[in-house]
Amino acid sequence: MYYGFGDWRESWLVIGYEDECGDPIFIDAAGPEFAVYTAAHGTGDWVPDPVATSFANFVRALTLVKNLSVGRETPVERETIPISTNERENNS
C-alpha cells in the first residue's frame, strides 16, 4: 500500500492520548521494537514525533516518572520533597 507524506498508516496503533491537546500516542507495529510516537492532530497531515525508540523504553520511562512522583503529586509536595541528588544519579 502506498502512503503519502502525512498519511495515517495502518501499522500505527494508538495506545493513548496526550492530556493537553488530545494528540494520539501510538506505536508503529510494523517495526521490531514498536517505537512510540505522537503527532499533532487537526493539522491536515500526520507527522510523527518520536517519544521512545521502543515500547519497552517507553514503559521504563513511565515507570521512572511514576516512582519519582510518589509523595510529589502536588506542587507543594514537589517543593517540600525535591528529587534528591541520589535519586537523580540512580535514575538517569
- The verdict on 65 and 46 lying in the same domain is no
pTM of the predicted protein model: 0.79
- Which cell numbers in the block locate residue 64? 521512572
- The verdict on 25 and 68 lying in the same domain is no
Q: What is the pLDDT of residue 60?
A: 95
Give the tens place of pLDDT for each residue, 49-84.
999 999 999 999 999 999 899 999 899 998 899 888
- The verdict on 40 and 1 lying in the same domain is yes
- The verdict on 66 and 38 lying in the same domain is no
For the beta carbon of residue 83, count every other beta carbon within 10 angstroms.
12
- 33, 50 Cβ separation under 8 angstroms: no
Give the tens place of pLDDT for each residue, 9-55.
999 999 999 999 899 999 999 999 999 999 998 888 899 999 999 99
- The verdict on 21 and 45 lying in the same domain is yes
- The verdict on 67 and 81 lying in the same domain is yes
> Which structural domain, as residue segments, surrounds residue 64?
55-92
- The verdict on 1 and 31 lying in the same domain is yes
